[in-house]
């Protein structure tokens, strides 16, 4: 008795649109990738770039070819060294990232360096749902705070407040901590705060 030829999935590909392999890929990594923008806490990339302009090509290449960076909910950069002449569109790594930045000011007394930047993934939060709250640039502290309402949040929270903080190497840590606490003490009582900080001194602790 002749047996029927063995079925090869490769022969059916491209012919039967209803055919698909049984099962699915398992593992924590694949589950996280499937829920890249629906996690309880956002994924954040923090980097001290020391001039963002000359690293734009590298940043755009990483966003294009590396899935973990492309799916990152928030990119936070310190020491961007940007000036008002550079537009937000010029430093945008991809069209699905919205740019929110703060450069050095004349009041801070800084002639070079400084600047913090937040780039929000539109798959996690629409740019229309982002509101700037605080922009502060002093000799001790650089602070940019935004309020956003992502598409997905645990039901205990209604919005997220995110702060990008940079303290220069010569900073007075106690003074910087006092200034930072003054900016956040009111909002932290009722809202969830995510703080991305870059410090050349030991970590600021309360």
pLDDT in tens, 149-204: 999 888 888 888 898 998 888 888 888 888 888 877 755 554 555 666 665 554 44
- Specify the CATH number for the domain of residue 140: 3.60.10.10
Whether 114 contacts 81, CB under 8 Å: yes
Helix (H) or strand (E) holding 131: strand 130-137
pLDDT at 24 > cutoff 80: no
Is residue 194 in a domain?
yes
Q: Does a structural domain hold residue 22?
A: no
Q: Between 155 and 73, where is the model more confident?
A: 73
Residue 18 lies in a domain: no
What integer pLDDT is reported at residue 205 of this predicted model?
A: 45
The parent domain of residue 106 ranges over 41-199
Name the strands in the sheet holding 97-102, side by side, starting at the edge strand that comes first in the sequence: 44-48, 74-78, 116-121, 97-102
pLDDT of 190 reads 47
Rounded to an integer, the average pLDDT of 43-66 is: 93
For 101-134, what is each residue's pLDDT tens digit? 988 777 666 767 788 999 999 999 998 899 988 8
| 15 within domain boundaries | no
Report if residue 120 sits inside a domain: yes
Whether residue 74 lies inside any domain: the answer is yes
SS3 178: helix
Domain annotation covers residue 153 = yes
Task: Please give the tally of structural domains in the chain.
Answer: 1
pTM for the complete prediction?
0.72
**Is 192 inside any structural domain?**
yes
Is residue 10 pLDDT above 70, yes or no?
no
First-to-last alpha carbon distance for the chain, in angstroms, is: 81
Residue 84: pLDDT band (50, 70, 90) is confident
Which residues are CB-neighbours of 47 under 8 A, at least 6 positions away? 75, 76, 77, 78
């Amino acid at each position: 008795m002749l047996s029927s030829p063995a079925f090869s999935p490769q022969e059916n590909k491209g012919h039967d649109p209803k055919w698909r392999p049984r099962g699915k890929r398992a593992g924590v990594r694949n589950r996280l990738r499937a829920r890249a923008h629906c996690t309880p806490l956002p994924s954040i990339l923090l980097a001290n770039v020391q001039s963002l302009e000359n690293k734009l090509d590298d940043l755009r290449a990483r966003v294009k070819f590396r899935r973990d960076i492309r799916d990152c909910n928030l990119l936070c950069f310190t020491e961007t060294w940007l000036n008002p002449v550079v537009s937000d569109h010029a430093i945008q790594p991809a069209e699905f990232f919205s740019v929110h930045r703060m450069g050095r000011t004349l009041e801070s007394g800084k002639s070079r360096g400084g600047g913090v930047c937040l780039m929000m993934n539109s798959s996690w939060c629409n740019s229309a749902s982002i509101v700037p709250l605080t922009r502060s640039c002093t000799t001790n502290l650089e602070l940019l705070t935004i309020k956003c309402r992502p598409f997905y949040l645990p039901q205990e929270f209604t919005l997220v407040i995110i702060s990008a903080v940079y303290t220069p190497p010569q900073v007075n840590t106690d003074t910087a901590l006092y200034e930072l606490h003054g900016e956040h003490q009111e909002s932290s009582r009722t809202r969830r705060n995510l703080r991305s900080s870059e410090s050349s001194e030991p970590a600021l602790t309360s």
